[in-house]
A = this chain, B = another copy of it.
């Protein structure tokens, strides 16, 4: 039962490689874990968000399905401190922008949607918005959907502030940043919300 020094070194190297591998894996958690554990993050550290991460998040947004593949959307990415503060100042539920690293505004474009319908533009853009929230969580960031549509005053303000055309609907403002540990996921699973075969 002799174990040589060399074989111990080899064993140690294998285990180390694994630890590194496992760590890399951990930085990209699996999809169901991310979906289940996504939180609305309203407390940020103030750290900036990298452009690479913002592009990865925008890519996730554009991977959402759209009715007849019309992609009736655009995404405004605000990183400038003055721009974030100007939004925070007026939007009542987006005050946490003061510590966010960025914000994405999902814009729905009815004239590009199937049959030119607002409903399809909203649904397609909402799927993109959910992907933004999940992608942020997956990257170790946090985000929260703060509503703009259907509030007319908020839509008018966001349009004016960000130079958005009148025919385009600013759906939300999503602050994104590095989370403090304050926000936790909610357990919303309810068996009574599942109906088997019929209502």
Chain A positions near chain B (C-beta within 8 angstroms):
1-4, 6-8, 10-11, 14-15, 18, 25, 28-36, 38, 40, 55-56, 58-60, 62-67, 69, 71, 73-80, 83, 107, 117, 119-120, 122-123, 126-127, 129-131, 133-135, 137-139, 144-145, 147, 149-150, 161-165, 168, 171, 185-186, 188-190, 193-199
Contacts and interface: CB of A to CB of B under 8 A. Distances in A.
Oligomer: number of copies: 2
Contact of A3 (B7, B69, B134): B7
Contacts of A123: 122, 126, 147, 149, 171
A65 B189 contact: no
A198 B64 contact: no
A41 to B, nearest CB: 11
Given A147-B67, A164-B199, A199-B165, A60 B35 contact: yes
